[in-house]
Amino acid sequence: MSFALPAISYDYTALEPYIDAMTMQIHHTKHHGTYVNNLNGAIQGEHGGSLKGLSLEAICRNVHSAPDAIRATVRNNGGGHWNHTFFWTIMAPSGTSSSAPNGALKGAIESSFGSVDAFKEQFNKAAAGRFGSGWAWLCMDQSKKLFITSTPNQDNPLMANVADQPGLPILGLDVWEHAYYLKYQNRRPEYIAAWWNVVNWDSVAKYYDEATSGKAPVLEVPLQ
């Protein structure tokens, strides 16, 4: 068995005008698809025996112990597969999910950052300030407090022996240029500001509830 590219639950056009259809199609089929194919190649190759049968989450959590010959490939592509599988689920067409955090999630954000607006400002800084390619994240730590961090390339906070600040992600933003360049060119802050219009706060609330139980986001990761 090997990993398969997951479907997105909405059309490529559904996030317009904030994220354009061409970007979504290329991002999903080409970029995410390549991560899946490269991860499968590494696991199915001569050095991947210890990784066969592991879940995608387990691969990310244990990437530091992957065989030397494929560790970089697994780190980049296992992270890329998990990050994007997660990313598609925390976006939704504008107006189809809660327009802002509420309930326990809102309370946790206000407790950690003072207000939702202050949280967004700090998150925006992390996303805009990530040099080169990478991600910005809202996570829960072991004390169940929320924090913001960023990671380079396709690393994520599940990679405890890799990430500067490990934790359970509940929200993440892809700031690789391929996520926004067709529409926003070099205007990353404009992309970040527009992205808030398509955040699926219902999914984020679900992942927050899972994190309070000590679980990483429960994602549908198809196999073939």
pLDDT tens digits, one per residue of 192-205: 999 999 999 999 99
Q: For the residues 106-125, what does the mean pLDDT come to?
A: 98
Using DSSP, state whether 168 is helix, strand or coil: strand
- What pLDDT is attached to residue 187? 98
Average pLDDT for the chain: 97
C-alpha–C-alpha distance, residues 134 and 141, integer Å? 20
C-alpha–C-alpha distance, residues 200 and 206, integer Å? 10
For 204-218, the pLDDT digits (tens) are 999 999 999 999 999
Write out the two tokens for 100: 């802002």
174 is in an annotated binding site: yes
Q: Which of 120, 96, 125, 86 is nearest to 106 (CA)?
A: 120
User: Is cis: bond before 222, omega within 30 of 0?
Assistant: no
Neighbouring C-beta atoms of residue 32, cutoff 10 Å: 21
C-alpha–C-alpha distance, residues 42 and 21, integer Å? 31
27 is in an annotated binding site: yes
155 is in an annotated binding site: no
For 151-204, the pLDDT digits (tens) are 999 999 999 989 999 999 999 999 999 999 999 999 999 999 999 999 999 999
C-alpha–C-alpha distance, residues 53 and 43, integer Å? 9
H/E element, 33: helix 33-44
- Percent pLDDT > 90 in the chain is 97
Domains located in the chain, CATH noted: 21-89 (1.10.287.990), 103-212 (3.55.40.20)
Write out the two tokens for 208: 């927050």
For 38-48, the pLDDT digits (tens) are 999 999 999 98
C-alpha–C-alpha distance, residues 95 and 73, integer Å? 38
47 is in an annotated binding site: no
For 48-62, the pLDDT digits (tens) are 888 999 999 999 999
The Cα angle at residue 33 between residues 28 and 34, in degrees rounded to 5: 125
- What pLDDT is attached to residue 43? 96
Q: pLDDT band at 76, cuts 50/70/90?
A: very high
- What pLDDT is attached to residue 1? 73
